Structure 1
Amino acid sequence: MPVTLLGASEIRSLAADLDVTPTKKLGQNFVVDANTVRKIVQVARVVEGDRVVEVGPGLGSLTLAILERGASVTAVEIDHRLAERLPATARAHGVPDGALTVVDADALRVTALPGDPTVLVANLPYNVSVPVLLHFLETFPQLQRGVVMVQAEVGERLAAPPGSKVYGAPSVKAAWYGRWRLAGTVSRQVFWPVPNVDSVLVAFERNADARGTEEERRSTFRIVDAAFQQRRKMLRQALSASLGDSASASAVLEAAGVAPTARGEELSVEDFLRIARVL
């Protein structure tokens, strides 16, 4: 029996049955268009045998599209009602036993994933998309690639290169782990309820080798946060509080081969790592 997908009317019926009203607090906007979830799975290059983790499966529309490809899914869902119902929905749509594992938990607190997934595919809640992404990349080094649907503004930041107007701390931290690119736009009309923001797909591939040690990552991220808290200031000023004073900051920056008069938005993740290593 082939896996079948959810339609818009069935999604609304499921929600009514569970007494689920999509909430802004949980960032819930359910995708009700089968073509859109298939597009996400296609962009993510999901193939038979892949082990996929999905964050926030909701009622299961994207989940079923991943399972339709013959992949296995570990789905992390914070809403207990949705987590409890998802296996029954999967069975009713032809998903074979063992292909879906549901983790009833807050994605920001998950530290272990059954099935050892290597691919991340998710329609991420808008309010926690960056923290969830960074948590998963830090906690699960086996994740090699993925595609996430996020608010357009967030996606543009994640994929932004140094010097871009939207380049910021999320851009640098994401780049620590790998390469990011915008991979498509998504119409507001495919969601229920219809959000008041645009959405994009962002694809990533993890670096083949670790960029640095865990201690270096933490140190680099602290410097990144300090640099972008006062992004209009030169680095010697933006980092003066954390490095003692402006003169000390200038000395560290020069030793790292970075101009003290540069601003955070001009630096690549490699530049920030060099500063961390000087420290």
Structure 2
Amino acid sequence: MLAPQRQAAILDRVRASGGVRVSELATEYGVSDMTIRRDLETLAERGLLAKVHGGATTVSPGSAHEPGFAAKSVQQRAEKSAIAARAAGLVSPGDAIALSAGTTTAELAQRLVDVPSLTVVTNSIPVADVFYRAGRPDQTVVLTGGTRTPSDALVGPVAVAAIGSLHLDVLFLGVHGMSERAGYTTPNLMESDTNRALLGACERLVVLADHTKWGTVGISSIAALGEADVVITDTGLDATALALLSEEVDEVMVVEPA
């Protein structure tokens, strides 16, 4: 098992049980205590867990806590990949789309680089970079500009102004959290303004949210649950949450992670 795979598995264990011991992990994965301690140190530096004597525990971030792009990219990789694959099937050649910032939308971008004559508007540096690296001359990529957040989103009045005169087909929105009360949320006040501007420029809203986003509430709401035309999530979403979501959203697509 490679270190990133082991770290992702450790993180899942911490979230499931609330805490782990170094000695137990070393035995389970067949590595030394020092290797596990390095894994925990790496995850702690990314803000994904809290190191304690002999192990690690979960962290309890507030509604304004914003993890960095690298920290989020190691979470729920299989779920994000499956969600992105399903979302890619909603895009056709010649579409004009918006991709918000987020690791799931960055995953989606990887699957769209071969779509002919695509126009993409994004406030995400990693998303734009995917298309710039592909360098297709028949694709148009617009990066909004703005103030950079810890999650590599560009936000604020410059971003909002860049979006204001656009008319696009669909917004693929990555979210920090979603709940019945707060809808789709973000921990960054300016990012919610930018996302609402993207929403206003698009005819349809497709929300990309793995099951861990349910019940998480960021400081600022982007939209109510019912404003989404489609939500793509995964089979980890519990039945109660799925029922609530299905009552509010026209179409909920549930994918099976590989």
Per the TM superposition, whether the score is higher than 0.5 is no
> Which structure's residues are more often strand, by fraction?
2
- Higher-Rg structure is 1
Q: TM-score range by the shorter chain?
A: 0.3 to 0.5
TM-score, normalised relative to structure 2: 0.42
TM-score, normalised relative to structure 1: 0.40
